[in-house]
Structure 1
Amino acid sequence: MKKIVVVLFLTVFTNTFAQANKADVLKLVELSGEVKEFYNIADEISKQLSVNNRERFKKDMEPLIAKQKKNLIAYYSQNLSQSEVENLIEFYQTPLAKKFMMVKSNYAVVLSNRSEAFKAEIQGIIMKYMM
């Protein structure tokens, strides 16, 4: 009887601290927009290439993005419990989270526009010291 109680206790204890389900973590990563950010980075870089090379570049980026996605899922799976993942998924499905993601996305566009001007200013200062 004692063995059954100990085994039952260990089973419950282990499940409480078990890693999150990777399928749920994948859903979380997609809802949070992190995967989309990988694609946005690739899109921004592709704009610097000739039109002929853009699609080939994006195709070559797919395995790298898949690897980053896999690493992200593994990291979250190890560091978040199943209940934490479920709570985050629930949050990202709320109207507040959807609004936050939209505002965040819009800010990324504003920031990238401002960063170009900032980079130009930095280049001006760098040129001052190179001459």
Structure 2
Amino acid sequence: MAQDAAFKADVLKVIKMSGSTAQMESAKKQIMAMIPNEKHEQFNKDFEATMPGFYDKIADIYLKEYTHQEVKEMLKFYESPIGKKIAEKAGVLFEQSMLAGQEWGASLQEILMKYME
């Protein structure tokens, strides 16, 4: 039981170190842009209250897909200079990837219209 708890704790640490929290902050910013400013504070509280459950579900996926040894190796990676840089850039990459996806979607829509006529 303690071994399972240590495994899950390491998985949660990997999730945090990998930059997932930065990606969620970027997603939250995008959502907040759609909400009136006077409701931001309450939305932020509600949003943050959902995060532990969300990360717990993500951790359960990792627990099924990786061994504890693999997770320990991920931790070593994210403690390395390049691992730290990947985590540091995760939010920026997420935001820019979302924009690229929107642009691609718009161009794909034009192609789709050509074939629906």
1:78 is matched with which residue?
64
By relative contact order (CA 8 Å, sep 6+), the higher-ranking structure is: 2
CA distance 1:38–1:110, shift in 2 (3 Å): closer
On the 8 A contact 1:25/1:85 being kept in 2, the answer is yes
* Greater mean deviation of Cα atoms: 38-47 or 22-31: 38-47
| Pairwise CA distance, 1:44 | 1.4
Secondary structure of residue in 1 paired with 2:11: helix
1:11 is matched with which residue?
none
Alignment TM-score, normalising by the size of structure 2: 0.71
Secondary structure of residue in 2 paired with 1:48: coil
Q: Deviations over 1:87-117 (max 9, x none)?
A: 000001111112233444333333445556x
CA distance 1:115–1:93, shift in 2 (3 Å): same
On the 8 A contact 2:78/2:84 being kept in 1, the answer is yes
On the 8 A contact 2:19/2:91 being kept in 1, the answer is no
CA distance 1:103–1:63, shift in 2 (3 Å): closer
Letter in 1 for 2:18: S
Alignment TM-score, normalising by the size of structure 1: 0.65
1:60 is matched with which residue?
46
C-alpha distance in 2 between matches for 1:33 and 1:102:
6
Aligned residues: 108
2:85 is matched with which residue?
99
Q: Where in structure 1 are there 5+ consecutive unaligned residues?
A: 1-14
Higher-Rg member (1/2): 1
CA distance 1:52–1:111, shift in 2 (3 Å): same
1:38 is matched with which residue?
24
User: Quick one: percent identity of the two aligned structures?
Assistant: 21
Secondary structure of residue in 1 paired with 2:35: coil
1:29 is aligned, of 9, 12, 15, to 15
